[in-house]
Amino acid sequence: MKLIVAEKNIAAKRIAELLASGGVEEKRINGVPTYHFVRANQHYVVVPLRGHIVDVDFPMRYAPWIGTDLRKLVNSEIEYIEKEQNIIEVLRKFAQQADEVIFATDYDREGESIALEALQCLRSANPSIKTRRAVFSAITKEDIEKAFRNLKDLDYNLANSANARREIDLIWGAVLTRFLSIVSGQLGKEFLSAGRVQSPTLALIVDREKEILAFKPKPYWEVEAIFEKNAKKFAAMHKNGRFWEKEKALAVFKKKEPYGIVSKVTRTEKVIKRPVPFNTTSFLRAATTLGISAPQAMSIAEELYQMGYISYPRTDNTAYPATLNLRAIVEKLRYYKPVASYCNELLKHELKPSRGKATKDHPPIHPVDVPKEKLSGKHAKIYELICRHFLATLSEDAVAEVIAAELLVGNEPFIATGRRYLKLGWKLVYPYSSTAEVILPKLEQGQAVKLVDMKLHEKKTKPKPRYSQGKLIKLMAELGLGTKSTRHEIIRKLYARRYIKGNKAIIPNRIAFAVIDALEKQNSSILKPDMTAQLEKEMDEIALGKKDKNKVVEESRKMLALALEQLLAKKQEIGQALRRALLEDKKQFACTADNCDGMLVIRTSRAGKRFLGCTNYPKCNVTYPLPQNGKIEPLEEKCDVCGKPMIKVTARRFSYKMCINPDCPSKASWNKNKRENKNNNGVSN
C-alpha cells in the first residue's frame, strides 16, 4: 500500500480523483476523512492534513507572562508539540501498513515544513518507511500525473527555512508582545501585540499618518480657458500650471480676448505596455482595487487552486516557463463565457506572452481550467481577474495618440491635451484598466478658436495619500518585510489587533500611534526594516543550503537581545507613554463624583461583565452598568432627565442611545425603544 499525504482535505480529495483508475472510496477514520483507490493494481490511501499538525512553543515554565524573565525567554529552547492528534494517529496507523509515503503538500517552504512534520510522525511508527515527493504547481489531471511520474525527494533546506521563520517569529513576537503588554498594564485579552515584521510594518503606516497630520497645505491657483470650435467645447490649462502668487494668476484670468490662436499642435503615439504575468504581490494589489482585502484575496486564490482552477498562488515569478502550454489554456477558456469571444480571436494568432522576471519558483499565477460549477461573489471576481490578466499578457500592446495643442490668449499660452486610442490591444480584455479618451476638435496651427470662458481655480497642495493594502504590500516587498506568503497575513493581524482600520485607505488607531511613538522615541531597532530584511535574506540562504538553520536562529536571538536591552533601559518612559495613550483611547467622560478628577472608562469585572469605572479607583468607587452586547460609544450630550452622560449602543441591526444612570426614569423606556427600532430596522435618535 502507498500512502499519499496532502495539505488539506479539498486537495486530498481532488488528487485521489485525478489519480484513481476507477472510483474513490471515502472512509472516516478517527474523524479524519481518508480517500482509498486503486491505480495500476496498487492500493493507495490519501490522508489530508490541516496545514501544520505540530506547533512551535516554549516550555510550560515560560507560560506565565508576569514573573518570566524576558532575557531568559530570548534564549529559551523551542519545543515542537503535536496538536492534531486525530490526524497524527491516522498517519501512524497507515505508516505501519505502507511501504512508501508520497508527500503532495504545497511545494514551498511552508508545505515542505508541513511534510517534514508528517514524516516525523510517520517514522515514529515506521522508522524504515520510504519517502518521495510530488512536485506540482496546479491540481489538474496533467500536472498531477506528471508529478507522480517524476517523484522527487523532500527538500530539507526548504523545510528548515520555514522552521527557522517559525522559531524566530515565535521568539520575537513573544518577547516584544510581553514587554509592551507588561509595561503598559495591558494584559489578558487586550494585550499589545508586536512582532519582527508586524512592528516595522505598523511603523510605516503610522509614519505616513504623521506626515499627513504635519502637512501644511500651501495655496495655489490654476487658470483654465474654455474654447469652442464647431459647437464643441474643450478645456485648456495655462502652460504655467500652478501659480503660487494669486496676483499673477489674476493677471492672466482678467485678460479677456475673443479668440485664442493655435500656435502649435503636436501628435505623438504612446505605447501602453501589456502587463507582465501575475506574481503574488501584483495579484494582491490588483485584487484590492476590486474591493477585496489582501488576506481574503489570498484565501480565495488558495481555494481556487485546491479546486483545480488556477495555478499555485504563492510565487515571485513573472515569466511563464517555456514548458507551459499557453494555447491549451486559452482553448479551455473558450468555454468560460466572460472571455469566450476574446479567446477565439486570440487563437487566430501566434501567442507571444509578455515577460517579467524569471525565478526558480512556481510559474506566475494563471488559470488552468474552467470551473465545472458556477462561481459566485468574490470567488467569481478573483477567478475572472486572473483569467483576464492572463489573456492580457498574451495580447498586443495598446497604442494611443496623444495630442497637445498650444493656444495663445494674447501672449498667455494654454495647453489642451487630447487622447484617443489607435489600438486597444490588451485593454479590450482587461476592463480594470482605464480606456477613457479626451477627444479634441481638429486643430491646426494659426487657427483662431473662440474663447467662451475663463476660470480661476483656487486649490491647496495635498499630503501624500494613506497607504492602500495594495500599496503597502508593494512597499513591504521593496523593503524586504515578510515574504509573498506572509505579507497579507501581517496586514490581517494588524486589523485583528485593532491597530488599523479603513478599507480603501489604512488609518492607524490611537493605540498604534502610542506603540510606535514610544518605540521611536527610544530609537528602537525593532522598527527598522533593515534588520528584518537581513533575517529574511538569511532564511533565503537556509533554503539554498548556504546557511545553517540553528545558526540563523541564534543570530536572530542576539539581535533581539540587543533590542530588548534598549527597551528595558527605558521601560519606565515607554510604560508611561503607553498608559497615557491607552487612557486617552479608553476615555469616555469625566467622573460624576464630586471633587474627583478621574475619568470613567470601560472595565471588565472578574465575572466577565463590562461596566464604567473611575480611573481613580480605589479612591473613587463610582461605577455604572453597561449593556453586555454591542459597541459602546460616548456622546457629548447629557441626559435631558437626570443630566448624566449619554452613550450610543450599536448592535448588529440597530442602534440606540441611553443614559448611563441605571436609576434614571428615561431608562424605563429603553427596552420599548429597542423593540421599536428592531421592528423598524432603524436607528433611534
Active-site amino acid positions = 312
DSSP code, position 427: G
What are the residues whose beta carbons fall under 8 Å from the beta carbon of 26, sequence distance 6 or more? 13, 33, 34, 35, 36
Q: β-strands 448-460, 219-229: how paired? A: antiparallel
Distance CA 615, CA 590 (A): 10
Concatenating the DSSP letter of every residue in 171-230 gives HHHHHHHHHHHHHHT--GGG-----TTHHHHHHHHHHHHHHHHH----EEEEEEEEEEET
C-alpha cell at 385: 481577474
What are the residues whose beta carbons fall under 8 Å from the beta carbon of 186, sequence distance 6 or more? 180, 192, 578, 582
C-alpha cell at 671: 427596552
For cell 512553543, name the residue: 57
Exposed, middle or buried, 672 (CB in 10 Å: 0-12/13-18/19+)?
A: exposed
Q: β-strands 100-104, 2-6: how paired? A: parallel
C-alpha cell at 424: 486597444
C-alpha cell at 117: 512534520
Concatenating the DSSP letter of every residue in 493-545 gives HHHHTTSEE-SSS-EE-HHHHHHHHHHHHTT-GGG-HHHHHHHHHHHHHHHTT
Q: Are 455 and 235 contacting, i.e. CB atoms less than 8 angstroms apart?
A: no
Distance CA 111, CA 49 (A): 11
Q: Which of 683, 681, 645, 650 is nearest to 666 (CA)?
A: 645
CA-angle at 457, arms to 456 and 458, nearest 5°: 120
- Residue 568 has phi, psi (to 5 degrees) of -65, -35
Distance CA 170, CA 139 (A): 32
Distance CA 591, CA 162 (A): 52
C-alpha cell at 314: 504563492
Q: Are 535 and 547 contacting, i.e. CB atoms less than 8 angstroms apart?
A: no
Q: β-strands 599-604, 589-590: how paired? A: antiparallel
Q: Are 286 and 470 contacting, i.e. CB atoms less than 8 angstroms apart?
A: yes
Cα R_g (the chain), whole angstroms: 32
Q: Are 542 and 548 contacting, i.e. CB atoms less than 8 angstroms apart?
A: yes
For cell 428615561, name the residue: 666
Q: β-strands 54-57, 42-48: how paired? A: unpaired
Distance CA 50, CA 615 (A): 45
Q: Are 383 and 194 contacting, i.e. CB atoms less than 8 angstroms apart?
A: no
In one letter, which amino acid is 135?
A: V
CA-angle at 479, arms to 477 and 481, nearest 5°: 65
